[in-house]
Amino acid sequence: MSSARALRRAAVAVMVAATLLLAGCIGLPTSGPVGEGDGAVDAPGPVFPLAYSPDVGADAQAIVQGFLAASAAGLSDNYAVARQYLAGAAQATWQPSDGVVVYSTASGLDLAQVTETQISVTLPVVATLDADGRYAEGAPGAQQDAVFEMLRNADGQWRISGLSDGVMLSEPIFSTVYRATSLYFLTPARDLLVPEVRWFPQRNTPTYAVRALLSGPTPWLLDAVTTAFPAGTRLAVESVPVDADGVATVDLTAAVAGASSADRALLKAQLEHVLEPVGVRSVNVSIGGLLMADPLAADLPSDPAPTGGLEALSGGRLQRLSGSAFEPVETVGPLDGLDARSPAAGVDGDPQVLLSGPDRLVLAPTATAAAQTLLTGTALLAPSVDELGWIWSGPAAAAGSLQVVRADGTTVVVGAGWLEDRTVRSIRVSRDGTRIAVVSTGPDGPTVDVAGVVRDSSGAPQRLGDQLRVGARLTNATQVDWVDESTLAVLGTSGTMTGPTMHLVPIAGRTRALPALEGANAIATGKGERALYLGSDDGSLFTLQGTSWREVATGVTSPTYSR
């Protein structure tokens, strides 16, 4: 398409939108009786860009540009217009659902005529999405090249004869037509829901989400969670219709008929937690068209909150924030002579542990008992206590493993092959106990990874699953914590910043830097963005309010939330 033609079409679109807006205003009544409505407003559906057929006589580059625009609109017409830009076998073999490259519009696309029949496009990559909706953030400066093979068809018009599968979407278009959706699986004890975030088209999200839920968790999480759906369960009809009242019907194959009453309640809970955030008010589950027995969903929590408050070290004591002031934790004795640092606690404050110097992990002293050594080693990691009371630590340079210990001294070495040749800086177990976030550094520099925690039948950690790399925009990282079930807080740097600050790092989304704070050296997070704390070199503690950090205390170090 010529640039003049593109400008004319853009102008027409703006004029049409303005005309419709004015028509709506002109149609507003200005007299007559006042009517009463129910106040219900339907949520707007996704807004798709417009797709245009190829222009007659367009050159090869214009055809590529037109194809990119038409494929961006493809979810609205099943890529019918986009395929008009293709020729020969490409029309039938191109698979747009194989993935998405999300690119930045900040610098525009770089199109180049490689040969008379070959056009290359260089994309500044924001993220990529695979065929199953798994999101991977692009690193700073990441680019991807796409090559389009061109030919003239029987009418002498340029068309695309060779291209890669998948589509390329600008970041604004992607955020309009796709949405982040949590699939919910179960902890091994089947008492909590665990999310895995995928990105699906906003049109027909329930169908995409249920289909992915039935396929099971992604490989990195597979051995850390379970599901109530029997193996082989699929949709009996390849859609999940939602009626005008928000009731979704999930029709499953006969494989689910053998599920126990308890499993039926659990699988319905999984479905409800997946579908309610995408506009579903209730779920009917059927098996081959017949309503499933035992329809009540199990009462399963998700995204558990910390059981304790914000704690920090101050004046030789472990103190807890109460209102606007810190007060000593009465169950923990004075910390004199311990060189105390990095406190951590389990559910309801038990067990309470801390580092004594850099090389000793101890149970905190009480009013009647001295500190008790649990673990020794060189440069031990700040501990993290999981929901079952296991205390995670170990030497920073541990050659592919971490160490966990219980308050009774039972110790387990947890294998993590992907940590070979890396030095660990920070670890934090998720509040559901199924995942761990790890900051480490190695030959490829500092990274943030998340991995599943694989346990034995008693709940003892055995190994970490494969890692999922997140926070690709970070240029450095030193500390990690969990903000909620699918978002990390990371102390580090990104972009051109010279000093660290807190970053919010979705497990499947784009990293966001919070306001900078000079001398930031520690983070602590409760649940959600209303409970974010940042410590500084001079012992001041700040909380995020709006777009700035507000000081809440001085003379404190090692802020943390107990589980």
Whether the per-residue pLDDT at 36 is higher than 60: the answer is no
What is the C-alpha separation between 249 and 68, in angstroms, rounded? Answer: 35
156 and 183 part of one domain: no
- Model's pTM, two decimal places? 0.90
Instruction: Give the closest residue to 494 by CA, choosing from 504, 484, 483, 509.
Output: 504
Last residue of a domain, one of 120, 135, 165: 165
Whether the per-residue pLDDT at 22 is higher than 50: the answer is no
The confidence score (pLDDT) of residue 45 equals: 57
Instruction: Look at the chain and count its residues.
Output: 563
Domain count, the chain: 3
Q: Which tokens hold the place of 43?
A: 């949520």
Rg from Cα positions in the chain: 27
Residue 63 lies in a domain: yes
314 and 433 part of one domain: yes
286 and 321 part of one domain: no
234 and 367 part of one domain: no
Last residue of a domain, one of 261, 291, 321: 291
Taking residues 10-18, report their average pLDDT. 34
Whether the per-residue pLDDT at 16 is higher than 50: the answer is no
- Percent of the chain at pLDDT > 90 equals 87
Residue 208 lies in a domain: yes
Summarised one tens digit per residue, pLDDT across range 73-121 is: 999 999 999 999 999 999 999 999 999 999 999 877 889 999 999 999 9
444 and 332 part of one domain: yes
366 and 514 part of one domain: yes
Residue 481 lies in a domain: yes
Whether the per-residue pLDDT at 378 is higher than 60: the answer is yes
Helix (H) or strand (E) holding 353: strand 352-356
Residue 31 lies in a domain: no
Whether the per-residue pLDDT at 39 is higher than 80: the answer is no
The confidence score (pLDDT) of residue 563 equals: 80
155 and 184 part of one domain: no
Whether the per-residue pLDDT at 257 is higher than 50: the answer is yes
The number of beta carbons lying within 10 Å of the beta carbon of residue 380 is 23
Residue 3 lies in a domain: no
192 and 281 part of one domain: yes
- Percent of the chain at pLDDT > 70 equals 91
Q: For residue 460, report the phi and psi dihedrals to the nearest 5 degrees.
A: -75, 130
Taking residues 391-398, report their average pLDDT. 95
186 and 268 part of one domain: yes
The confidence score (pLDDT) of residue 46 equals: 61
Whether the per-residue pLDDT at 48 is higher than 80: the answer is no
Quickly state the pLDDT bin for 7 (edges 50, 70, 90).
very low
Last residue of a domain, one of 165, 197, 223: 165
133 and 239 part of one domain: no
Residue 46 lies in a domain: no
Taking residues 204-233, report their average pLDDT. 97
Residue 454 lies in a domain: yes
Whether the per-residue pLDDT at 31 is higher than 90: the answer is no
What's the domain range around 267?
178-291
Question: In terms of C-beta density within 10 A (0-12 exposed, 13-18 middle, 19 or more buried), how is residue 483 classed?
Answer: buried
Count of CA atoms in the C-beta half-sphere (13 A) of 151? 10
What is the C-alpha separation between 219 and 402, in angstroms, rounded? Answer: 21
What is the C-alpha separation between 558 and 339, in angstroms, rounded? Answer: 12
Q: For residue 160, report the phi and psi dihedrals to the nearest 5 degrees.
A: -90, 125
Which residues on neighbouring strands pair with residue 201, listed in sequence order? 178
Summarised one tens digit per residue, pLDDT across range 436-485 is: 999 999 999 999 999 999 999 999 999 999 999 999 999 999 999 999 99
- CATH number (domain holding residue 75): 3.10.450
- CATH number (domain holding residue 432): 2.120.10.30
Whether the per-residue pLDDT at 545 is higher than 90: the answer is yes
Residue 536 lies in a domain: yes
Which residue type is seen at 420? E
Q: Which tokens hold the place of 533?
A: 């704390």
The confidence score (pLDDT) of residue 104 equals: 95
Average pLDDT, the chain: 91
400 and 453 part of one domain: yes
Summarised one tens digit per residue, pLDDT across range 143-185 is: 999 999 999 999 999 999 999 999 999 999 999 999 999 999 9
Whether the per-residue pLDDT at 207 is higher than 70: the answer is yes
Summarised one tens digit per residue, pLDDT across range 406-420 is: 999 999 999 999 999
Angle subtended by helix axes 261-275 and 205-215, to nearest 10: 140
245 and 379 part of one domain: no
